[in-house]
A and B are shown apart, each in its own frame.
Chain A
Amino acid sequence: MTDRNPMKDQVAIVGLGSTGFSREGGASSLSMALAAATEAITDAGLTAADIDGIVATNEPGASGPEAIAAGLGITEATHHTKPTPVAVFSLLDAARAVFTGAADHVLVVTPVVMGPWNSRRAAADPWRRGARSGILPVPEDATMAAAYAAWASRYIHEFGATKDPFARVAINSRTNAAANPLAAVDTPLSFGAYEAARMIREPLNIYDMDLPVDGADAFVLTSAERARSLPHTPVLIHAATSGIVGKNDEDQLDGLHRTGQHVVVDQLRRTSDIWIDDIDLFYPYEGFTIITLTWFENCGFCPPGEAERFLREHWNDDAQRIEIHGRIPVNTHGGSLSEGATRGTGHLREAVHQLRGTAGARQVDGARAALVTPGGFFFNPQGAVLRTAT
């Protein structure tokens, strides 16, 4: 098994920074990136002079590694890239740079900004109104975000599901967000409010989808060896991967029985010594609630189509949240439904906070291992198993 994953436990996340997330607007993508980056580098006990790798993100409006390097006063860098947004793409790129010796201390910085296509505030902002989105301007389109509503209908049809498990994913996130000062929305959600909610793309309503926000996360990675002399408990990347099926055009996908999520799970099971019976925390992406239901099923918590039963059985009614076997909380930070559309960086950041013991009021005692699964069905499914060194 080890030869399949020589990078296992060799690279650590040692610094975290975040601006928090809001719908207020008014800051530039670069200013948020620099704010998160300086916090992460300081948190790691390092300075700009130590950073020799920069992983930026190919997010609309985001600065490239060159502008980040110039803006932070980095001396020189030997790894500088701009991968596709979604958290594990960046994490893997940085980890591989550390593991191969391309750089010693790699900064990952992932700003997101609201655009004129998804925010009235951004459309009224003269500095943003010219930005373009990749979204097609015809209504009859089942790609990108719309594809999740389309496949949610198929899931409901194939399995005879109700909206109950969708509601539980949304309520779980909002319950957990109450203790997260970084969240854009932190008020609790009731079943009644969920059922009464405005439909956006039926069968999905406004609580089934994340919200556009401004903000940035940043991470610092280094070798597990160097991590031992830095201030925080190192969080090791035990296994990580992305995965797609070849036929992945959103409306042409063969079916929910084999998506990139299955590819990710198969690869993680080949490369990880830790699986769902061993984890203390689970961070399935919930930018659309349907994604979370299939992550539960595809990771093996329950068979296909049985997320409804599973979530009902593993629901803490007093706390109004999911607790797997009464033990494993899910999306302890409130997920993307509360922090907003951060493309899984919040899930990753929160897992690191929990594992190193800096999650504040949300801290889960004794958490040693976490499974983080950002991404959806088509072009960005991914997963990571994180653990502490001991």
Chain B
Amino acid sequence: MNGNSEETDEETDDVLIARFAGNGITRDSADHFRGRLDRRLLMARCADCGRWQHPPRPMCPACWSWNMTMDEVSGRGTIHLLMVLHQGPPATGVDYSTGHPVVTVELEEQRALRFTSTVSDDFPAEDLAIGTAVEVEWIERDGTPMPVFRKAAS
């Protein structure tokens, strides 16, 4: 799962880069995006000390191990940061005239391990607030799976 592997398939990488060009995909984050194609939210984790880090980087900043892996997170967390965009880059299914929410979710796996996306279409407006418990849900944008957050089942 190491993004620096010499054995990466050039054609596969080209396809991956094309699909996630807008997300700033790099060699170091490639496996996170491969996971998205399988609808799995993968984040970088140190196989030696267990610390998560995001965005993915090739070495563990806590113990300097190079034994980084990609593990699936639960997708559960709470809204930590919240904004509603009234203008922004064009994207399929995004309507700025009604306001497009962007949430940064603090995941339950580790303090200050966060993932930024939007919320599900049926997210209750009254719960769109910092502190609301959420869980990941997969939608598609332009045929590519995309993780978003719905209100957590209580």
Contact = CB atoms under 8 A, between A and B. Distances in A.
Interface string B1-32: 00000000000000000000011100000000
Interface stretch (A22-30, A83-91, A144-152, A308-316): A144-152
Dominant SS among interface residues on chain B: loop
Given A150-B82, A200-B86, A136 B116 contact: no
Nearest to B94: A139
Given A136-B22, A254-B112, A142 B86 contact: no
Contacts of A270: none
Interface stretch (B33-41, B63-71, B99-107): B99-107
Contacts of B55: 249, 252
Contacts of B131: 157
Interface string A326-346: 000000000000000000000
B86 A202 contact: yes
Contact of B89 (A138, A246, A253): A138
A152 B104 CA distance: 13
A139 B102 contact: yes
B114 A137 contact: no
B83 interface: yes
Nearest to A205: B86
B18 to A, nearest CB: 14
Contacts of B73: none
B88 interface: yes
A141 B114 CA distance: 12
Given A136-B23, A141-B116, A251 B104 contact: yes
Select the residue from A151, A247, A252 with max chain B CB neighbours within 10 A: A252
Contacts of A141: 102, 116
A154 B87 CA distance: 20
Contacts, number: 88
B63 to A, nearest CB: 14
Nearest to B61: A246
Interface size class of B (residues with CB under 8 A): 20 to 34
A202 B99 contact: yes
A151 B81 contact: yes
Contact of A154 (B88, B99, B111, B130): B130
Contact of B83 (A135, A136, A202, A255): A202
Interface string B107-138: 00001111011100000000000110000000
Given A154-B81, A252-B54, A254-B112, A140 B87 contact: no
Contacts of B130: 153-154, 157
A103 B131 CA distance: 54
12 contacts: A136-B22, A136-B24, A136-B89, A138-B22, A140-B102, A140-B116, A141-B102, A199-B99, A201-B88, A202-B84, A202-B99, A247-B61
Given A153-B81, A201-B83, A251-B104, 5 more contacts: A137-B89, A139-B85, A200-B87, A203-B83, A252-B114
Interface of B: 22-24, 54-55, 61, 80-89, 91, 94, 99-100, 102, 104, 111-114, 116-118, 130-131
